Amino acid sequence: MVTFKLNLLKFNDSNSRKMENFMPDLLDQLNENQRVAASHIDGAMLILAGAGSGKTKTITTRLAYLISEVGIAPSNTLTLTFTNKAANEMRTRALKMLGDAGKNFTPLLCTFHKFGLLFLKFYIDRLGRKNNFVIIDTDDKKRILKGFESNIATPVLASEISNFKNSLLSVEDAAHHAAIEIDEHKFKDGYYARLANIYKLYEEYLAANNLVDFDDLLCLSYKILDEDEALAREISQRYAYIMVDEYQDTNDLQYKLLKKLCLTHENIAVVGDDDQSIYGWRGAKIENILNFKDRFKDVKVIRLEQNYRSTSQILRAANELIDHNRNRLGKELKSTKEGGEEVALIESDDETMESLKVAKRIKKLLSSGVAASEIAILYRINALSRSLEDGLNKEKIPYKMVGGVKFYERAEVKDVISYLRLVANENDDFSLKRVINRPKRGLGKISLAKIEKIAFENKFSLFEAICALDESDKELSKKIVSALDEFAANLKELKECGSAYELIDKLEAKFGIKKYYESLPDGSERVANIDEFYAMIKDQIKQDPSFSIEEFLNEIALQSEQDNIGGEAISIMSIHASKGLEFEHLFVIGLEEGFFPLLGDGSDIEEERRLAYVAITRAKKTLGLSYANSRFYKGQRTRLEKSRFLSEAGVCSGSLIIQTQTQTAGEYKKGDLVKHKIFGIGRVTAVTKIKKELKLTINFGGISRDIMSGFVEKAV
């Protein structure tokens, strides 16, 4: 805190003196483009840094150069990152470069949210708040929200409030929006009004208890700067040189905050890769990096295209793939490692064979002396880990799940397992307590405690206690007793099912587990896991006429207990979790249409392609791309086409899939300036809707052409 106070409030003239111990070799270890970027001083700069191109080295060298060579005071620099890990790595590198010069002058290098925290400690009083506030985490936030009576799921409330804050919507704005019909169904249901009310109660609670949540760190900081131009100018002058890492991941609020920090200058250097923008689903705006040169004056653009990670074969596939995206600034990675093995294409009949083939290849690598830590398997959606985990366990290959939860340990899967356990044994109190309120039945802690009391006094199981409830019982409301009666009746009915297959079908119909989870922010992912679980059981039933639910559940329990096999482990993870990592040997599974790319409402084919690009560029030495001809898809076994990404990457031949970007009618209008790959800049003179597509009549320098909207982009 003292360090920040010196940085933020006091500028000591002695800090600006030219530092001793110049390092003439500071730039010597950089390639030509890296040197240009690192030695840039004034004005805006965009460093387009491809995967494995040494971006961290470049940006930290620039920081050291500004301080030790140019003589910029460390207190006048600000470097922003997205993770503490990245901030710590950069700080360590920069201080090492600075040597003795960096011992007494530590530049401010932190995450966006850490900067917000430090800023609020000094200026939150301008909002009438005390600076001894406490930051609450996600769990604290959910606990507070649970205290408000609402039939909207807590995770949904938490997500919606976060969206409000990142969109800079006040409580009053949210209430106003609630009065406007946005979604007819939700509007009639009073959803928006209830949401706005909870937002109001939540904000009042935070203010009354002097709390701030994670989103407040940025939105309150912006609010202060937006309302006080003099302060904004003072802070901008203080941080005369700003650098931002992973700029493609910034959202709209972060961009607006940066604009405030650049109020008195445009000495902002951002580093990022538009081809690795994969977080659109959590609010990241790829437009921030695509339009950077239009939002700042005289922007210097430097491309870092030399890749020090992957072989030329791997990069060839990555370059060919990403070249199919239209919405990009353009660059081509060049390997410093010539040759290497060709990218392997792995075809399997189904997911069981796929996991077996991949496991066999991994065993071969391990037996040849490759360390397990140098091997990884990636997948697009978490549901695919189920067959993979089963295959690795069968082959006794130790693995660790990175950034995720093992399939049978995921909440939604454990819920289904608990229901099945109850069908097998209704007196399983542990399982009953887990699912008694999933989906919600209005049962709170107090009501459950009353049922537990009844069970204890009568030496009943919880299920027997529920069956013994009477609507005349004053201990519990009629509504709760009725809901529990229905719960017990449904369980009894399921126990009478003639077959395990019938049981699985009826389980979902009776309890609506998928319906409960699909309402959550990550609902589609959770439903996919449930579908995978149901389908896997059905498949086993078909293969084994003597299939027993009880035996199956016992096998899962044993498998979970044996997961932690000793020794080194390979890594398995989603592609999102792999960002920033690298592995000598890499496998990517599930490359089929519908799985990767993920197709459906709201899907963005270009972001899916960027995700595939990220996956490929994690590999250093060998890369295996795997697809299955059939897989469980939306709950049933389906024949699948191999992913278009395989042919686009030049790994196999395939039919060309013409993908046009779906546009809504409001996205283009008469008068818009647009850009076409061949015809250049033109102006829209008419818009015609054809099904879900738009046909645009565009004037290109006096020549009028009809072009489908997916083949142009807005020019401004």
d(CA 130, CA 212): 11
Six-digit token string for 283: 């609010």
d(CA 436, CA 428): 12
DSSP E strands in 427-582: the ranges are 570-574
Other CB atoms within 10 A of residue 103 CB: 9
d(CA 26, CA 70): 12
Six-digit token string for 292: 């950077």
In the annotation, is 622 catalytic?
A: no
In the annotation, is 55 catalytic?
A: yes
DSSP3 helix / strand / coil % (the chain, rounded to 5): 50, 15, 35
398 preceded by a cis bond (ω within 30 of 0)? no
d(CA 351, CA 628): 6
Residue 671's region, left for phi above 0, alpha for psi from -120 to 50, else beta, is: left
In the annotation, is 56 catalytic?
A: yes
Q: Are 648 and 321 in contact (CB under 8 A)?
A: yes
Residue 702's region, left for phi above 0, alpha for psi from -120 to 50, else beta, is: left
Instruction: Report in angstroms the alpha-carbon separations of 362 from 74, 298, 374, 436, 624.
Output: 48, 50, 11, 42, 11
Comparing C-alpha atoms, which of 315, 365, 352 is closest to residue 335?
A: 315
d(CA 554, CA 424): 11
The single-letter DSSP state of residue 677 is T
In the annotation, is 246 catalytic?
A: yes
Residue from 77, 81, 276, 661 carrying the catalytic annotation: 276
Residue from 69, 160, 215, 245 carrying the catalytic annotation: 245
Helix axes 84-98, 55-65, angle to 10 degrees: 50
Instruction: Report in angstroms the alpha-carbon separations of 437 from 139, 187, 431, 511.
Output: 19, 26, 11, 11
Q: Are 379 and 575 in contact (CB under 8 A)?
A: yes
Q: Determine how β-strand 241-244 pairs with β-strand 77-81.
A: parallel
Residues identified as active-site: 55-56, 245-246, 276, 618
